[in-house]
Amino acid sequence: MAAASINLQTTDDPRDAIHRTVQALAEGKLVAVPSETVYGIACSALNERAVARLAELKQRSSEHPFTLAIKSSDDAQDYVPTLSPLAQRLARRCWPGPVTLVLDSTHADSLLGQLPASVREAVIPNGSVGLRVPAHDALLSILRLTAGPLVLTSANHGKQSDAVNAADVAKLFGDEIDLILDDGPSKFGQPSSVVRVGDSKLHLLRSGVITDQVLKRLASHLIVFVCTGNTCRSPMAEGLMRQRIAERLNCSINELEDHNVMVMSAGIAAMSGGRASAESVQLMKERGIDIEKHESQPLSERLVRFADLILTMTRGHREAIIAQWPDAAARTKVVCRDQSDVSDPIGGPIERYRRCAEQIDSQLANWIDEIDFASIPSIVRCDESKTEANNSGK
């Protein structure tokens, strides 16, 4: 008998469809689920019989472990308590999204230790685990309502093409699975990128939705300076910091991104596309720094989430950021170490701008000393036939 199917796009109550799927997973059933990459087959990681059935269905050995789907990047710390700063950065920037991170999982306090022994053998046989937070509303809703993570793999057999819609799943598996959750074609139609995170290197185990170039940017160290309008203080701070880091790395300012370092600026009340003030442009030009093409931008949720370090011109700016984005508190600092404010020179004479620039510049060396340039990663592309690139499926 063919697997039952629920169409999320035509059902009268999508919430009932989600609850039925959660119930099926709790009962140890195998469920085909949509994601933004391809369709996958999921089961509860707490049910060893279901995981064993999935391994048999996929003919997977412990040499090709399954991925665990979790509901948020915050949960990653529960499974990998020793999550490195680089891994934290990628989890913060890539999730929810089409990236599977392969991480060390040997810590004694990991929640992975609470999984049945046979499940641990299926997902962490070699001391590492593949984690993924999919960017699909229905699947995320299921994860939030499910006890524990889901074991997740692509809906295909061996080297067959990935299933990108419910019809593909039904054709490939028929009655071998219990339920198909249909939400139309997958957004990307190709699997997730799989990345092993080392201390200072990223090993690209499988190419997928995320290209090498995008991954490089996602792995870069990002510093963001914040003032009010993003036309005076923060553009000068951005330019000065770029210059100092380039000197430290012995490269040109234009080569910073090649060294995986990015410096940006924004304003908590900025308009998009404004130019830096004429006085700021003049002062930076005197120092060999070009900010003439600067365009102001408002501080956004994405920029806050991506930033490794946010340096504000005043205490008030920091308080405003933390009030809106509490999770960024540990990464948000006042640029002046003594917590004094950098006053806004706008509308004042050029000397006021000069004092402002000097005050900012006097603080930057201390912040540069806190950047661990040795840990800024390089990216290594691995031969997929010699790695666990296929461990994650989706």
Catalytic (active site) residue 344: yes
Candidates 233, 318, 336, 356; catalytic one: 233
Catalytic (active site) residue 287: no
Q: Give the dihedral sign, CA 106/109/110/114.
A: positive
Candidates 94, 227, 336, 356; catalytic one: 227
Query: Which of 149, 59, 42 has the alpha carbon at shortest distance from 105?
Result: 149
Catalytic (active site) residue 92: no
HSE-CB at 1 with a 13 A cutoff on CA atoms is: 5
Candidates 344, 352, 361, 382; catalytic one: 344
Active site residues: 227, 233, 344
